[in-house]
Amino acid sequence: MTRVVVTGASGHLGREVVPLLRASGAEVVALSRRPRPAQPGLTWVTGDLSQPDPLRAALRSGDVLVHLATQPLRAGADLNLARAAVQAAQNAKASHLLFMSIAGLERLQAAPYYRDKLAAEGLVAQSGVPFTILRTTQFHEFVAELLTRLTLPGPLTLLPAGVTLQPLEAQAAARALADLSLGSPVGHAPELCGPQALTFAELARQRGPGRVLSLPLPVPLFRAWQGGAAVPRGAQTVGRTWAHWVAAQEHYR
Ligand SMILES: NC(=O)c1ccc[n+]([C@@H]2O[C@H](COP(=O)([O-])OP(=O)(O)OC[C@H]3O[C@@H](n4cnc5c(N)ncnc54)[C@H](OP(=O)(O)O)[C@@H]3O)[C@@H](O)[C@H]2O)c1
């Protein structure tokens, strides 16, 4: 039976990928900073990747390590998490290290988080551990949370001007990631995106009624997305459109 250790298993993607791995018959060991209850085929290990050796007790020789834990808010933090995951995979002699990354990273280097992700890809690729890097565009779930945070009473949604995204549902990324995790390492997997490129104003309008106001918001992430930089080139299209996904997600609207 394949043993798969998943960091960030409680996150948007982790929540979707863990049940798929279990349904495929893998034994899953999941890392979280908080204690969580075990379920059949799923063991939680409590640990913080910013502390020494959190994966020592979890990761065994020959295991697959799926690294999804992420820290977008502080420059350098995401790279440190990736460094901890790579070192753990090297020490334990993991058979396969999977790393999630972002479509079009080279065009998005105005944001510290994306600089971290590109450097982390380099660490993974040079680790000596057989690896797979899967790049996708932004998740519908992330865009929905962002729109909620940008919405003021009224409602009035403030939007970053000049930004187009082509998001995908985390469930579709999880399906691809689960298949890759249970297969042989492929290095750089084909990029994935959702079916439709939409401006932020279109994303907001398809989410529901309310006024929108597009502004040049001074946020590094939004600056990185300017001028179509986040729109993938030649990526494979998967999952539901934003509109179909939103219609099925009452709590995000
Ligand atoms: N969100 C997107 O739109 C998107 C798009 C493309 C690629 N990706 C990539 O996909 C991966 C997963 O993203 P996501 O959106 O699922 O992330 P997320 O929802 O923000 O979840 C992040 C996870 O990281 C864990 N974590 C954070 N700091 C940690 C630490 N110090 N030690 C251990 N665990 C820690 C958290 O677990 P606990 O709180 O349980 O400890 C949490 O489950 C990331 O590599 C991200 O860059 C995301």
CA of 211 to the centre of ligand 1 (A): 31
pLDDT for the residue 253: 52
| CB of residue 168 inside a 6 A radius of ligand 1 | no
C-alpha 244 to ligand 1 mean position (Å):
24
Tens-digit pLDDT profile for residues 75-110: 999 999 999 999 999 999 999 999 999 999 999 999
Q: Are 157 and 147 in contact (CB under 8 A)?
A: yes
- What's the 8 CA to ligand 1 centre distance in angstroms? 5
Write the CA distances from 242 to 160, 193, 194, integer angstroms: 18, 11, 8
- pLDDT, residue 193, reads 98
In angstroms, what is the span from residue 209 Cα to ligand 1's centroid?
A: 30
Question: What pLDDT is recorded for position 129?
Answer: 98
Nearest CA to ligand 1 atom 15: 12
Task: Judge if the beta carbon of residue 166 lies within 6 A of ligand 1.
Answer: no
pLDDT tens-digit map of 58-80? 999 999 999 999 999 999 999 99
Burial readout 91-109 (b: 16 or more C-beta within 10 A, e: otherwise): ebebbbbbbbbbbbbebbe
Q: Single out the residue of 252, 61, 55, 18 nearest to residue 143, CA to CA.
A: 252
pLDDT per residue as tens digits for the range 136-180 = 999 999 999 999 999 999 899 999 999 999 999 999 999 999 999
CA 109, CA 194: separation in Å to the nearest integer?
Answer: 22
Return the H-helix or E-strand segment holding 222.
helix 220-225
Local confidence band at 250 (pLDDT 50, 70, 90 cut-offs):
confident
Using most ligand atoms within 8 A of CB, pick from 6, 66, 68 the residue to mutate for ligand 1: 68
- CATH number for the domain whose boundaries are 3-252: 3.40.50.720
β strands within the chain, DSSP E: 3-7, 27-32, 42-46, 64-67, 96-102, 131-136, 151-152, 156-160, 164-165, 187-188, 192-193, 198-199, 211-215, 236-237
